Amino acid sequence: MSYKAWFQCASGCNERYELNEIIYNCKTCGGLLEVKHDIEKLKHRSPGSWMRLLDERYRRTKWPFGSSVWGKKEMVCPNVDNENVVSLYEGGSNLFWAERLGNIIGTEDLWIKQCGNAHTGSFKDLGMTVLVSMVKQMISEGKDIMGVACASTGDTSAALSAYCAAAGIPAIVFLPKNKVSTAQLIQPIANGALTLSLDTDFDGCMEIVQKICRENNIYLANSMNSLRIEGQKTVSIELVQQLDWEVPDVIIIPGGNLGNVTALGKGFLLMKELGMINKLPRIVCVQAAKANPLYQSYLSGFKEFKPVQAQMTLASAIQIGNPVSINKAIKMLKLFNGVVEQATEDELANAAALADKTGLFNCPHTGVALAALFKLLEKNEIKKDERIVIISTAHGLKFTDFKVKYHENKLEEVESKYANVPLELPPEYDKVNRAIIDKISEYS
């Protein structure tokens, strides 16, 4: 059975392009592209047989199917030959049962999907493996591709650089000079990316990277690239798989450019279309109050959308005022009985810290999701007996400054309710003993 996928214009004109074409927008109407699959071919296999196949491959040794992205290859990107797959064993991250946090907030069935427990420390690996593999495929077919470029200061450039380094393909990262430190860039730098620091702002970088890519057969790994969505959608499939193919009631996901809302929705819709699941979860998208254009639109019943000027937020990866994927995301939220909630700096930091006390180590974006959950439970928009899955997008080890400042009570606009301060004591048994006995009785 030869499965097939292609790019298709998502703006209504339905023009099609091959996945091994270097293309980012529809040539006819300029619209965004999305990856479409030959669903009829996928339906030749029964739902139960798909589930069995995916389970059989999950975390096993047969290349490349042990990766949870490539174990779903036919539904993700069948157009890449196995020997061109660039995989760092994506997915398979813990679906953490938040038993203690659930007890504190009164939910019974709360799960936190630890997507940040990944090679480069964020969920971006899931999409980047597909994009870089497709580039390797094109190179193997004789396409003259010099490298892959992006303008990003964060998780995207880290993932791009690691996958390119593993593949031996040059990665080129564009950044505004003096706005980014070596520390922020240490992943691309360590992975040998060609790092260009331009004396301009972020928009200036974007302009030049686009022209460079257009003129030089350098592939652009921007967030509109819909190959990445195909990898990211496997989170939906994997988490259902980890729940023994039961669909949770609610999925909560932080939203900036909103590609992940689209990706998660796509995963669920595909499973439903193939008969693997019978219901859809509600999708809750959460934003920082400092960068909340989707939330504003939600308040108007999605009747209108206006970009906002994003302000500085601790949730830096979703500090976006004019999301690229806004239209796709709103469409998806309408299909999934969607809810949008926001969280202030104080709310997100305290929510992350409370959850950390129960064994997690949350990034601020997960803090936004947790804070939103607390609010929606209070409003009874999420019920306490529902099965809730929060998508945690990055490892807390990427955000140790945030945590240090929280526990030193030095974050602006945040009153650190759960700050944990070391006790200073003389090295005397009795005093130490007394202190432990006093403090342990307060432990919760």
Interaction residues for a copy of itself, span 43-102 (CB under 8 A): 58-59, 61, 88-89, 92, 94, 96, 99-100
| Cα three-residue angle 167-168-172, rounded to 5 degrees | 105
Q: How far apart are CA 2 and CA 17, in angstroms?
A: 18
Q: State in angstroms the smallest separation of the CB of 66 from a copy of itself.
A: 9
Enter the DSSP assignment of 350: H
Q: State in angstroms the smallest separation of the CB of 316 from a copy of itself.
A: 16
Q: How far apart are CA 164 and CA 171, in angstroms?
A: 6
Nearer to a copy of itself, 165 or 414 (CB): 165
Nearer to a copy of itself, 289 or 351 (CB): 351
Nearer to a copy of itself, 14 or 400 (CB): 400
Choose which of 32, 139, 166, 280 interacts with a copy of itself (CB under 8 A). 166
Is the peptide bond preceding residue 170 cis, with omega within 30 degrees of 0? no
Residue 283's beta-bridge partner residues? 251
403 near a copy of itself, judged by CB under 8 A = yes
Q: State in angstroms the smallest separation of the CB of 159 from a copy of itself.
A: 11
**Window of 105-113, 237-245, 333-341, 368-376 that interacts with a copy of itself by CB under 8 A:** 237-245
434 near a copy of itself, judged by CB under 8 A = no
Q: What is the DSSP string of 323-344?
A: -TTHHHHHHHHHHTT-EEEEE-
Choose which of 22, 32, 53, 198 interacts with a copy of itself (CB under 8 A). 198
131 near a copy of itself, judged by CB under 8 A = no
Choose which of 53, 194, 224, 324 interacts with a copy of itself (CB under 8 A). 194
358 near a copy of itself, judged by CB under 8 A = yes
Nearer to a copy of itself, 23 or 425 (CB): 425
144 near a copy of itself, judged by CB under 8 A = no
Among 247, 223, 224, residue whose Cα is nearest residue 236: 247
The sign of the CA dihedral 223, 228, 229, 231 is negative
Q: State in angstroms the smallest separation of the CB of 273 from a copy of itself.
A: 24
Q: How far apart are CA 126 and CA 163, in angstroms?
A: 11
Residue type at 105 in one-letter notation: I
Choose which of 353, 382, 388, 389 interacts with a copy of itself (CB under 8 A). 353
CB atoms within 10 A of CB 112: 24
Nearer to a copy of itself, 74 or 155 (CB): 155
CB 317 within 8 A of CB 393: yes
CB atoms within 10 A of CB 31: 18
Q: What is the DSSP string of 75-89?
A: HH-TTS-GGG---S-
Choose which of 142, 183, 301, 303 interacts with a copy of itself (CB under 8 A). 183
170 near a copy of itself, judged by CB under 8 A = yes
Q: State in angstroms the smallest separation of the CB of 247 from a copy of itself.
A: 15
Nearer to a copy of itself, 28 or 420 (CB): 420
Q: State in angstroms the smallest separation of the CB of 65 from a copy of itself.
A: 13
Phi, psi of 284 (to 5 degrees): -110, 120
CB 416 within 8 A of CB 406: yes
Choose which of 13, 23, 29, 190 interacts with a copy of itself (CB under 8 A). 190
**Window of 17-25, 29-37, 373-381, 432-440 that interacts with a copy of itself by CB under 8 A:** 432-440
Nearer to a copy of itself, 44 or 177 (CB): 177
CB atoms within 10 A of CB 51: 21
191 near a copy of itself, judged by CB under 8 A = yes
Among 130, 168, 172, 176, residue whose Cα is nearest residue 149: 172
Grouping H, G, I as helix, E, B as strand and the rest as coil, residue 149 is strand
Binding residues for a copy of itself, total number by CB under 8 A: 90
Per CB under 8 A, which of residues 26..45 are in contact with a copy of itself? none
Choose which of 138, 185, 285, 315 interacts with a copy of itself (CB under 8 A). 185
Nearer to a copy of itself, 19 or 368 (CB): 368
Tokens 């999950």 correspond to: 58
Among 103, 89, 75, 109, residue whose Cα is nearest residue 243: 109
DSSP β-ladder status, 282-288 and 339-343: parallel
Q: How far apart are CA 413 and CA 182, in angstroms?
A: 27
279 near a copy of itself, judged by CB under 8 A = no
| Cα three-residue angle 85-89-93, rounded to 5 degrees | 140
211 near a copy of itself, judged by CB under 8 A = yes
Residue type at 20 in one-letter notation: N
22 near a copy of itself, judged by CB under 8 A = no
Choose which of 19, 54, 118, 264 interacts with a copy of itself (CB under 8 A). 118
